[in-house]
Structure 1
Amino acid sequence: MQHARTARRFVLLALTLLSACAASHPSSETATSDTATSKTATPKTATEAMPNGVIGDYLAGRYALSEGDSQTAATDLLKASALNPGDPELTLQAFIAALQADRPEAVKLARRLPDSQVAELVLADADIKAGRWQAAESRFHGLPRQGLTQLLQPLLVAWAQQGDGRTDTALSTLRPYVENPRFRGIFALHAAMIADLGGRNAEAAKLYRATQTELAQPNLRMAQILASWEARSGQPAEAQRILASLPGVSPELAIALPGLMANLTKRPVPSASDGIAEAYFTFAALLQSQDANDFALVMLRLALDLRPDFAAARLLAADIEQSEHHPELALRRLNEVPSTDPIIAIVQLRRAALVDRLGRSDDAMRDLERLARQYPDSPLPDEQRGDILRSKQRFPDAAAAYDRAIARLDRPGPQDWVLFYDRGVAEERSHAWPKAKADFEHALELSPDQPYVLNYLGYSWADMGRHLKEARQMIERAAEKLPNDGAITDSLGWVMYRQGDAKEAVSTLERAVELEPEDSAINAHLGDAYWAVGRKIEAQYQWRRALTLNPTKDDAVKLEAKLNTGHPGAVASGK
């Protein structure tokens, strides 16, 4: 489903209230509403005190910023700020834009924002790059310990102490947090990396074990770090076991295993400045999980300022920019990942998806074909090709792409249900129902309770008027798992309609329309149910509405026929 485009509110008034991004759990509301209303004036208020020559640049810059064009925004707002240097609002907005655009002017403007926590972090980055570790540590000590900054601040302080050569002091800084159950795994991991870097191998081993205990299911970054330690400690089999567990967390990660295995003995975090970048990345991931995307991007920019080749940070930033409807920015972000990076295969898959989204599908398909040759054991490039073809309603071609992906599977496991489901969808839309049915059933054998498979198979049977009792049971199981899914609720109403239970179908389909009001098929189904209970005027209204909601060509023909004849056609009762 397409989400409505929202303007990027990079109202970093985290710049003055970063810790206000939440008490202990930030949300999009706290990240935008409180800070925006209390600190950022509306354009009218902000421009009232500006000289006339400044207003145009200010408004142009603010507009460019809202559109994600940070370079243009920085140029316009820096010009406005230079013309009126005493205006704190202009200074703040110019700093925001310069920070977004990775412009060097951000450091100069940061010195004029003594109350801004993000400005202090920018200045600390400058100190780190100049080797002024004690100055950076002093800035980090000045951060307040409230909200999620109580997680970030001790990590930054400890890494600055490590950069200054004081490993034992750094470990002492983190020890109380390692002993506290809240976020223990994160603190233990950073303390382990500090001990590792400082040659405190016994303590590093203890802390890495604590990390594994606290964070039982590793993510990609944690697995890289833990596997590297095991390999460098003479435990290559354990290192390989850790990495081999990643596809169980996310099947996409399987394609990165060769690159990760080849780099086992390299330190993922080889310096204290890289440790600071790691802390920013950790904080960004937490913020992104709480939908505080603007704040997360600030942290990622700080991380990339210290470590431009930080592929994991670029991936996360690209994911956020794509979710904010800026695929071109996301693509530029990923284009800067070196081809030698251990996770380059994942980056290349994401690039192909972005290239397709930008309307260059032929280029995306060529990129994926090249990836399929590079990684002959991975089904992912062909799976992604199938997804692109299916989105373009080239269903036979999509089924063929999924054929190639499935042929690459050595032994299908529970996580591979989605491949058989996707191929089943392409086959059903290609009118190859026996093949589709077999694939749906195989997907359920691999993972019996997948609601989307239960729903698709149950709906298909209902639509054909077959096995209606079994179809309803399947859809009801899916609805138990996803009670607020509009498509599944629609399927449940449709099978009720097919069974002849029109009254209950109306109630269920009305709820489906509430959940998915812009779906043509759901509105059409509700029209059919209205007609069945004698509400014929409302039925015709729903059919007309469905015609305005971009139905498929086949569905549009059916809707026109219903409106012309005044009824939906025969109803299969299954009885």
Structure 2
Amino acid sequence: MTPAVAGASVQPDGALHAYARARLADGDGALGLAVASYRAALVQDPARVEIARRSYVQGLESGDRALALQSAALLDQVGMLPRDGTLLMIGEALTRKDWAGAETLVGRMVEEGNFAFIAPIVRSWIAIGEGRYAPPVIDSKDRFASLGLRYADEHIAFQALARRDLAAATPAIRRALAVRSSDGAALRLAFAGQLAAQGAKAEALMLLPVGSAGFASARVAIGKGKGLKAAGAAVTPAQGYARLLSRLAVDVGSDKAGGTLALRLARMATFADPAGAEPHILAARLLTLQGYAPGAITEAGKVPARSWYAPIAQAELIDALAAAGDEPAALMLARAQAAELGAEPERQVRLGRLLAEAKDFAGAAAAFRAAQAAYAPDQLPWTLLLFEGSALEQAKQWDEARAVLQRAAAMAPNEPLILNYLGYAQIERRENVEAALELLKKASALKPQDASITDSLGWAQFVTGNVEAAVPVLERAAAGAPTDITINEHLGDALWTAGRRYEARYAWAAASIYAEGDVAARLAAKSKEGLKPEYAAP
């Protein structure tokens, strides 16, 4: 119990009762109940810092702008506002067009240090709001200059487009898209809409790949000159700030440890630009990753079906539906997306993964094969071959799987994932065991800290009769993944064969904790009777 609530009595309708209910709902991932309870607790006891702190977090994660702002104000009064709270308050000032207030908050952000590198960009938007133009200037001597430069070009481009200065906008657009090559689809649509609205239709269409389903509706609209006024509306300072927070959230969220902060930043972006598609798409993605699938479904649904951004939102909706356990709905939408003319490879991959999770491995292999059709032979990603080979192997089409996996290994001879899969699959079948052992030795040398690859090597050594070499390798694998069922069973089999019977039973017991079905029955038999040929791990 936290010091803030220790020793206090809990009244049925009091603040602490609401707070306790909120914490329980929070722990269960029930965002709706949690935020309602935090709101009630804050109303009843606004001076309690612990309630305000949790309400602030919950207000951001749930997208409750009023609760987040109220909690932030209370925390700010007692000097306990988190550093990202300054970002929230800047967005609110920009939304209210309080340019002086926003400038003061930017100064505070610089003093705090954490997000100081975005200050030149935010100040450039404040200048736009004040009716003047002051492009973001990044001091090259600043130690965080490279971070600021990563984000500047997008804003330089939009500000140039607002001034109808296509000459200045064009190179900035090119640089901005180069930086965001892996997640730039929405940015391409935004730039294309701006260009088309200013009569630069050819330049707009050049940003949208021909034959790509995700850009089809935008290309048609641009060609017909429909809906360009809305798509080409000048970006406001608040919207520009939302874009900045969104990009920052993408980069922070690329690290698993940064997921919580990334979600907060994305939510702040939705507050600053509530009608914008991109912040809601990003929020949906991050909510799914953070385990809040119902909230992700809601966010993805905020993008209108006729929007240029709808295909991107639908992709996030598919992931959210699957994470929420609604596999039939996720599969139905994934099939529809994959069936569209010009469906991108990622649509086929998403469908393939869903089919694999549904145990339709033959269907998954077909989807992964369809994804490959979009690439020239010399540009085919080896990952698609690995996906197909894995699906075929699980579909019990081993001859076909082996051929695909061998193609992948020939294409990427130093990729440990391929070497491990091909080597271990052959060891499981006691096929080409010496050659498979060499593949696994190479995979382990390339990625020595990978417990799964270490296990494959140790098991291959055991299968080929080198028990003395296998045991320490398998012990190392078990140390790296102490709860892994397969690794602990392999270790137990090797220890038993080496005469270390007590330790073998200990390893089998560790494997049994999470084992189910036939594996659990096999482990139970080994623990009782010892290792017999019919009980050996496959």
TM range (shorter): 0.7 to 0.9
Aligned counterpart, 2:262: 296
Aligned counterpart, 2:35: 74
Aligned counterparts of 1:92 and 1:570: Cα–Cα separation in 2: 58
Task: Give 1:464 deviation, angstroms.
Answer: 2.4
Aligned with 1:83 (options 44, 49, 69) = 44
Provide structure 1 residue ranges, at least 5 long, that are not aligned to the other structure. Answer: 1-41, 246-252
Structure 2 counterpart SS, 1:190:
helix
| 1:528 and 1:568 in contact (8 A); partners too | no
Aligned counterparts of 1:238 and 1:473: Cα–Cα separation in 2: 53
Query: Relative to structure 1, is the Cα distance of residues 207 and 192 closer, same or farther in structure 2, using a 3 angstrom cutoff?
Result: same
Aligned counterparts of 2:385 and 2:69: Cα–Cα separation in 1: 52
Aligned counterpart, 1:190: 155
Task: Give 1:121 deviation, angstroms.
Answer: 4.4
Aligned counterpart, 2:459: 494
Letter in 2 for 1:467: N
Query: Relative to structure 1, is the Cα distance of residues 343 and 446 closer, same or farther in structure 2, using a 3 angstrom cutoff?
Result: farther
2:446 is aligned with 1:481: yes
Aligned with 1:569 (options 503, 516, 533) = 533
Between 1:47-56 and 1:301-310, the stretch displaced more is 47-56
Aligned counterparts of 1:348 and 1:304: Cα–Cα separation in 2: 18
Aligned with 1:441 (options 385, 399, 406) = 406
Structure 1 counterpart SS, 2:101:
helix
Structure 1 counterpart SS, 2:146:
coil
Q: Residues 302-317 of structure 1: matches in 2 within 5 Å? A: 302-317=268-283
Aligned with 1:104 (options 60, 63, 66) = 66
Task: Give 1:118 deviation, angstroms.
Answer: 5.1
Query: Relative to structure 1, is the Cα distance of residues 148 and 511 closer, same or farther in structure 2, using a 3 angstrom cutoff?
Result: same
Task: Give 1:523 deviation, angstroms.
Answer: 1.4
Between 1:454-463 and 1:109-118, the stretch displaced more is 109-118
Letter in 1 for 2:266: L
User: Could you report, residue by residue, the CA deviation over 1:52-109 in whole angstroms, capped at 9, with x for unpaired residues?
Assistant: 5332122223333444444433333333333334444444444444444424354455
2:314 is aligned with 1:353: no
Letter in 2 for 1:339: A
Task: Give 1:348 deviation, angstroms.
Answer: 1.8
Aligned counterparts of 1:230 and 1:124: Cα–Cα separation in 2: 29
2:495 is aligned with 1:533: no
Between 1:446-455 and 1:154-163, the stretch displaced more is 446-455
Aligned counterpart, 1:428: 393
2:356 is aligned with 1:390: yes
Aligned counterparts of 2:9 and 2:247: Cα–Cα separation in 1: 40
Aligned with 1:258 (options 216, 221, 234) = 216
Aligned counterparts of 2:213 and 2:481: Cα–Cα separation in 1: 35
Task: Give 1:300 deviation, angstroms.
Answer: 1.4
Scaled by the length of structure 1, the TM-score of the pair is: 0.77
Aligned counterparts of 1:88 and 1:542: Cα–Cα separation in 2: 48
| 1:503 and 1:533 in contact (8 A); partners too | yes
| 2:284 and 2:317 in contact (8 A); partners too | no
User: Could you report, residue by residue, the CA deviation over 1:335-365 in whole angstroms, capped at 9, with x for unpaired residues?
Assistant: 2122234343233233223222322222222
Aligned counterparts of 2:103 and 2:126: Cα–Cα separation in 1: 5
Aligned counterpart, 1:56: 17
Letter in 2 for 1:61: A
User: Could you report, residue by residue, the CA deviation over 1:380-439 in whole angstroms, capped at 9, with x for unpaired residues?
Assistant: 444433323322434345445545x35854645545433332232232233321111111
Letter in 2 for 1:387: R
| 1:314 and 1:333 in contact (8 A); partners too | yes
Between 1:120-129 and 1:488-497, the stretch displaced more is 120-129
Letter in 1 for 2:404: D
Q: C-alpha root-mean-square deviation of aligned residues, in Å?
A: 3.7
Query: Relative to structure 1, is the Cα distance of residues 476 and 314 closer, same or farther in structure 2, using a 3 angstrom cutoff?
Result: farther
Aligned counterparts of 1:81 and 1:383: Cα–Cα separation in 2: 45
User: Could you report, residue by residue, the CA deviation over 1:230-285 in whole angstroms, capped at 9, with x for unpaired residues?
Assistant: 8789987876676659xxxxxxx975343565577855973322101112212323
Aligned counterpart, 1:3: none
Task: Give 1:514 deviation, angstroms.
Answer: 1.5
Query: Relative to structure 1, is the Cα distance of residues 296 and 345 closer, same or farther in structure 2, using a 3 angstrom cutoff?
Result: same
Aligned counterparts of 1:416 and 1:304: Cα–Cα separation in 2: 35
Query: Relative to structure 1, is the Cα distance of residues 512 and 255 closer, same or farther in structure 2, using a 3 angstrom cutoff?
Result: farther
Task: Give 1:455 deviation, angstroms.
Answer: 0.9
Between 1:359-368 and 1:500-509, the stretch displaced more is 359-368
User: Could you report, residue by residue, the CA deviation over 1:533-557 in whole angstroms, capped at 9, with x for unpaired residues?
Assistant: 222333344334433332563x456
Aligned counterparts of 2:177 and 2:318: Cα–Cα separation in 1: 34
Structure 2 counterpart SS, 1:131:
coil
Query: Relative to structure 1, is the Cα distance of residues 63 and 232 closer, same or farther in structure 2, using a 3 angstrom cutoff?
Result: same
Aligned counterpart, 2:225: none
Letter in 1 for 2:382: W
User: Could you report, residue by residue, the CA deviation over 1:489-545 in whole angstroms, capped at 9, with x for unpaired residues?
Assistant: 111111111222111111111111122222222112112211232223333443344
Between 1:80-89 and 1:529-538, the stretch displaced more is 80-89
Aligned counterpart, 1:45: 4
Structure 1 counterpart SS, 2:531:
coil
Aligned counterparts of 1:267 and 1:450: Cα–Cα separation in 2: 45
Percent sequence identity is: 25
Query: Relative to structure 1, is the Cα distance of residues 558 and 462 closer, same or farther in structure 2, using a 3 angstrom cutoff?
Result: same
Structure 2 counterpart SS, 1:45:
coil
2:137 is aligned with 1:175: yes
Task: Give 1:150 deviation, angstroms.
Answer: 0.7
Aligned counterparts of 1:372 and 1:364: Cα–Cα separation in 2: 12
Aligned with 1:470 (options 415, 418, 435) = 435
| 2:209 and 2:215 in contact (8 A); partners too | yes
Query: Relative to structure 1, is the Cα distance of residues 155 and 436 closer, same or farther in structure 2, using a 3 angstrom cutoff?
Result: same
Aligned counterpart, 1:161: 127
Corresponding pairs, count: 517
Scaled by the length of structure 2, the TM-score of the pair is: 0.82
Query: Relative to structure 1, is the Cα distance of residues 475 and 156 closer, same or farther in structure 2, using a 3 angstrom cutoff?
Result: same
Aligned with 2:422 (options 457, 460, 484) = 457
Query: Relative to structure 1, is the Cα distance of residues 235 and 176 closer, same or farther in structure 2, using a 3 angstrom cutoff?
Result: same
Aligned counterparts of 1:155 and 1:513: Cα–Cα separation in 2: 49
Query: Relative to structure 1, is the Cα distance of residues 353 and 137 closer, same or farther in structure 2, using a 3 angstrom cutoff?
Result: same
- The structure with higher relative contact order (CA 8 Å, sep 6+) is 1
| 1:414 and 1:447 in contact (8 A); partners too | no
Aligned counterparts of 1:129 and 1:357: Cα–Cα separation in 2: 34
Letter in 2 for 1:182: S
Aligned with 1:152 (options 118, 131, 135) = 118
Aligned counterparts of 1:451 and 1:509: Cα–Cα separation in 2: 18
Aligned counterpart, 1:283: 248
